[in-house]
Amino acid sequence: MKILGVETQSSVKKKVSVMVPKDFVQDTISHKIAEFQKSAKVPGFRKGKVPESVIKSKFENDIKYEAELEVIDHTINSAIEESHIKAIGSPVIEKIDYTGDGDLTYTVVVENIPELEKVDFKAIELKKLPVPEVTEEQVQEALVKIQKRLGVLMPLEEQRPLRENDLASVKLTELDKQGKAGKVNDDLLWAVNEKLGKKFYDQIIGMLTGEKRKITVDAAKNVHFMIELKAIKYIKYPPIDDELAKTSGTYNSLDELKSALKKDIEEEIERINRLMYQDMIVAALLQRHPLELPGSLVKKELEHIATEDEELKRAYAMNNKQEIEERLKQIDTYIRIGLMTRIYFDAIGKQENVALSDDELKSEIAHIAHHNNETPEHITEKLNKDNSMETIKQHLVNEKVLDLIMKNAQLIEERKDK
């Protein structure tokens, strides 16, 4: 195989011309002829006993077509690699030239991640973001979230009718058209409100524990259920005190937990600010170094995120075309910013020889372990097992690149009107 030439069609698309020697092509054709001899069914001949001359005559075009595809399949990856192209997506065969007795040539178009020779990231002007003080109210909100997480479901001791906003433990039995019991759901927990469904809601309000009631969902279609109210329940929340602190983690007192929560909130504010600075940096770099993104990469990322996005799933379920379109645009923007960030930061990292030390990685793993109440060894094992270690490493390198850019940036204080 020989590379005849590499044509740059755009910053994200290249065309490679490839020549495969006739000896390799002829060997592939011979192999294909043998395959056809084994499987071809030709009247007048037993299967596997068809003469080569008959196979060539009857299946000439099919043999040539399959041989060409096999030759390309065996050489295309090497051709792209030898052309020093970081290909993404599926290559597209644009042209095949083979007369049947000589060399085979073909051209393939591939998309690639754009390579930035020199990125000027110095003296980027960034609007300085405020760093608000963490308030007692924010800490208290975090404590309430922990309190709710530790709530325990309890049966109501008071004997009273079922009311709105109760939690109802029910046994639900489907009834057939003759009123006979069918499928039974014996352990359902319902939040009694309008979201439950008005036809259910209206017919179960006022039930007493132990009571059974036949309800009708659709009289015209004869859809009925038997409902038994097994218990009225409530969530018992623990008091916000030292015991809650001990239960929620490795804290000895409420003050120690509050101090940790304050630190977590401060870290979250810093994280959000860093993401905002990152977006401002990408916007500035885009002005200095315009960047084209590979369409196949954007499409691949969009398809991946779209299948997981809950908002999009709800929009599709409701067949809300406007909401679907708006959400897809939001996801597309998010993807493009993320890809541009990756490309710019990778280029700057290589340009400035930004590297991650073993101690920095160990420190990050220890930080993750602390927040998850696990050991660093266990976190390391999990990251290696689910192939997430490289993602963590890449994130840490990106953070170092961001620090480098911020160090060289010009933070502009926002003017206040007097």
pLDDT digits (tens, 9 = 90+) for 140-172: 999 999 999 999 999 998 899 999 989 999 999
Helix (H) or strand (E) holding 7: strand 2-10
Calculate mean pLDDT across residues 380-395. Answer: 92
The pLDDT confidence band at residue 316, using thresholds 50, 70 and 90, is confident
How many Å apart are CA 193 and CA 130, to the nearest integer? 42
The pLDDT confidence band at residue 397, using thresholds 50, 70 and 90, is very high
DSSP letter at 13?
E
- Per-chain mean pLDDT for the chain: 91
The architecture that CATH gives domain 152-236 is Roll (3.10)
Per-residue pLDDT, 237:
95
Q: Do residues 7 and 108 lie in contact, with contact meaning Cβ atoms separated by under 8 Å? A: no
Calculate mean pLDDT across residues 351-377. Answer: 91
**Per-residue model confidence as pLDDT tens digits over 56-113:** 888 888 999 999 999 999 999 999 999 988 888 889 999 999 887 889 999 999 998 8
The torsion angles phi and psi of 283, rounded to 5 degrees, stand at -60, -40
Q: Which residue has the higher pLDDT, 318 or 18?
A: 18
**Per-residue model confidence as pLDDT tens digits over 235-290:** 999 999 999 999 987 789 999 999 999 999 999 999 999 999 999 999 999 999 99
**Per-residue model confidence as pLDDT tens digits over 29-46:** 999 889 888 888 888 887
CB-based contacts of 264, cutoff 8 Å, min separation 6: 142
The pLDDT confidence band at residue 418, using thresholds 50, 70 and 90, is very low
The pLDDT confidence band at residue 179, using thresholds 50, 70 and 90, is confident
Q: Supply 417's token pair.
A: 């009107």
Per-residue pLDDT, 219:
83
Range(s) for CATH 3.30.70.1050 in the chain?
Answer: 2-112
**Per-residue model confidence as pLDDT tens digits over 101-151:** 889 999 999 998 888 889 999 999 999 999 999 999 999 999 999 999 999
Statement: residue 346 has pLDDT above 90: yes
The pLDDT confidence band at residue 48, using thresholds 50, 70 and 90, is confident
CATH of domain 2-112: 3.30.70.1050
The architecture that CATH gives domain 250-412 is Orthogonal Bundle (1.10)
What percent of the chain shows pLDDT beyond 70? 99
Per-residue pLDDT, 406:
96
User: How far from 11 is each of 281, 294, 352, 363, 413, CA to CA, in Å?
Assistant: 21, 9, 22, 38, 37
CB-based contacts of 334, cutoff 8 Å, min separation 6: 305
